[in-house]
Structure 1
């Protein structure tokens, strides 16, 4: 049994690409960063915590936990939650390079595997009107960094540097495929 410890439609859609049967479960995990915690440490901790929370209720299942954080000059940018915060995030990232840390953990009982991906996104210089048009069109309020790269958000960038293009959407499938193979799954 394979369970995705997430209710994110983005992660669910990505995991479906691997054509493995799975269920989804909501992990009840507090996601507030700890004092002094780096973005990479935060996403690794939360990916493990999400997988662990669901593993407790499904001890025989392999559980996938994942988390992502945007990092602008060492400052963690979370999900904006609304229009004003999304506009402010995109304005702050305009003309800058932002690091996106995405962790995935695979766990069954006490056996845990994990990987972290770093994706660098270079934003082009964005005019205020462009930002507002984008935010109104796609309403990326539930996305770290206030954009959907799989949609219109791609027009905001000059470049993306990544080892795994799915990591920026929220679930690094290249890394996860390796973890699943290590756990005994036939992928593909």
Structure 2
């Protein structure tokens, strides 16, 4: 790895999936979780929620580290305008997957890059259309017991066994469904003055 002359890079996230994705870029970074209320506002769409939370997470950490470049990200599963977040429990995961079977769900994945010292703050949104199979209750139960995706928006890990739940995925940023759209992340980092390569 070559030595970096860019400002320090911080991932404002507790997600192990986002950390693993960012590691693909082979750049040094630290992880500092943001303490942000992830509740939706009353009239907020799932896309607006994802964008607001990604930017709020990045800004919260950037305030404490103004010379660093901070990445924030958030994902919301969008079922016909209803925001489906992380289920956290088995019962909620069952209910989510029952609602999504046979449906097209849009996974709204936002990434924000903020650097206070450079007065830089931009957000991008990747929208991934996912067609779910017509799942039986037995299939849903078997999947949840095997993978326990209770920390994933929409209760499915496409990078694991969750791929068996799906009929089709349409997107233009392959890592967006996992939780961090790396194409858009690289574009934002370059715009902020960070040397990706």
Give SS of 1:68's match. strand
C-alpha deviation, 1:148, in angstroms = 0.6
Aligned length: 188
Q: Aligned-pair distance for 1:187?
A: 2.5
Q: Which residue of structure 2 lines up, in the alignment, with residue 119 of structure 1? A: 128
Which whole-Å deviations, capped at 9, do the CAs of 1:86-135 have from their partners, x for residues lacking one? 11111110011001101000000131022100000000100110000000
> How do 1:163-174 and structure 2 match up within 5 A?
163-174=172-183
Matched, 1:10 2:21: no
Q: Which secondary structure state, in structure 1, belongs to the residue aligned with residue 155 of structure 2?
A: coil
Gaps of 5+ in 1: none
Unaligned runs of 5+ in 2: 1-7
TM-score normalised over the length of structure 2: 0.94
Whole-angstrom CA distance in 1 between matches of 2:36 and 2:58: 10
Match of 1:160 in 2: 169
**TM-score, normalising length: structure 1:** 0.98
Q: Does 1:128 align with 2:150?
A: no
The Cα RMSD (Å) is 0.8
* 1:62 equivalent in structure 2: 69
User: Per the alignment, in what secondary structure is the counterpart of residue 115 of structure 1?
Assistant: strand
Q: Shift in Å at residue 181 of structure 1?
A: 1.4
Alignment of 1:30-109 (within 5 A): 30-109=37-116
